[in-house]
Amino acid sequence: MTVMAWDRRTFIAGTGAGLVTLLAGCVGDDGGGDDGGGDDDGGMDDGEGGDSDGDDTGGDDTGGNGGMDDMNVGMVYATGGLGDQSFNDMAHEGIQQAQEEYGLEFQNAEPDAPADVGELQRNFARSSDPDFDLICCIGFVQETDLVENAQEFSDQNWMIVDAVAQTEEGPLGNVASYVYREHEGSFQVGVLAGMLTGMDYDHGGGSTNPDQQMVGFVGGKEIPLIERFEAGYQAGVQHVSEDIEFTSAYAGDWNDPATGQEIATGMYDDGADVVYHAAGGTGAGVFEAAQSEGRYAIGVDSDQSLSASEFSDVIVASMIKRVDTAVYGSAGNVYNDEFQGGQINDLGLAEDGVGAVIGQDFEGELPSEITDELDSTRQAIIDGEISVPDNLDDL
């Protein structure tokens, strides 16, 4: 499996044109919280310039203004592991960007099972050669262990994605937490799927079945986080029309493409035109099914028409979740000595933490009524005119 070969800048250049409204301001915004405190992003807004905004007195090209020398970051990934072309790879992408930008070093650790997560965290925290300036904990699975380890290693800086590290006394002061309102981005792709299934559309490696209006959802594990994706998606579909059939299933695993393919093939056979997955590595099977059935799929976490480019002819869109920016941003904050310990970053559409991005092969190929509608629902969600449910009970 090849490592994704795109960086933030080419990504923006490639998708920017048609998506200005969807991704506006995404570049270099670390989404420093929804409290409008955008002043914590240090040297980040100048993606191109790096630290050249500092006084260029020395010839030092990594030092910048007060930047840290020999910075080391430890990365503990979620159990799906690297190569999922999705969540974990997105985090990996973020730390690679930070490596380029700040000249830092990082070390990856991939747990085999949830039980190993705590030990890997402790390994990084204990290490003195090198001494890790930041440990990134990717995924909710790390929460409980992190809460314990962050208290035991209280001088260590940590960051966690998809959970808030807190005790009864409040957020831990040495952990920056990043959570996402995935339901908002999922609503957007739900609108897209709902509109597409109602149309007679034929492009790329698939086409819709005009006789039947049906969309599907494939989740990884049946947990509240993933149900948030499903709830938002279903709400988006219903926003288009209450008559659209909706089917959903869970694979029970983050890294089981075979089951993903089995489930998705069943859905396409039943008449689904579009299937959205929130299942990490399992999603590759959904794309596989879409290709062989000649239907469409929606990716998750990263722009999967790029990260899983062999399926770009059926990946009509992806619900991106900017885990990379969270990792990149927190590393930058540590680098610039502005680490935001204890801060809870709650990122949604308004902060560009999540959003719908059209697939590479479908850029400019979708009917303008869809893209226009996406623009308007996005704005309506940001303005609070549409309230997106974050669990299935509120649908």
Partner 1 sequence: MNRADLERLLDRLVDATVLERVVISFASLLFAIVVGGVIVLLAGIPATCRDPAFVFAGREFCYDPIEMYLTLFEGAGAFGSLTNLGLTLQETSVLLFTGLSVAVAFRAGLFNIGTQGQMVLGALGSALTIVWVAPSLPENVVGTVVIVPLAVVVATVIGGLYGTLPGLMKAYADAHEVITTIMLNFVAMGIAFYLVRNHVGDTTTDSVQTTPIPDFARLPPTIDGTRFSILVLLFGLAAAIALYLLYERTVVGYDLRTSGLAPEAADYGGVNAKRNIVASMTLSGALGGIAGAMYVLMVHYRWETDMPPLGFDGIAVSILAGNNPLGVIPASLLFGALKGGSLQIDFALGVPPELVEVLRGLIILFVAMPEFFRMIGSYAGYGTDGGETDG
Residues at the site binding partner 1, with contacts judged by CB under 8 A: 2-3, 79, 81, 107-116, 118-120, 122-124, 126, 140-141, 143-144, 148, 162-163, 221-225
CB of 131 to partner 1, least distance (A): 15
Residue 141 vs 334, nearer CB to partner 1: 141
Of the candidates 245, 242, 258, which has an alpha carbon nearest to the alpha carbon of residue 216? 245
Residue 123 vs 247, nearer CB to partner 1: 123
Residue 242 vs 393, nearer CB to partner 1: 393
CB of 269 to partner 1, least distance (A): 26
CB of 308 to partner 1, least distance (A): 18
Residue 13 vs 113, nearer CB to partner 1: 113
CB of 259 to partner 1, least distance (A): 14
Residue 208 vs 282, nearer CB to partner 1: 282
CB of 114 to partner 1, least distance (A): 5
Residue 132 vs 201, nearer CB to partner 1: 132
Residue 107 vs 376, nearer CB to partner 1: 107
CB of 123 to partner 1, least distance (A): 5
CB of 81 to partner 1, least distance (A): 7
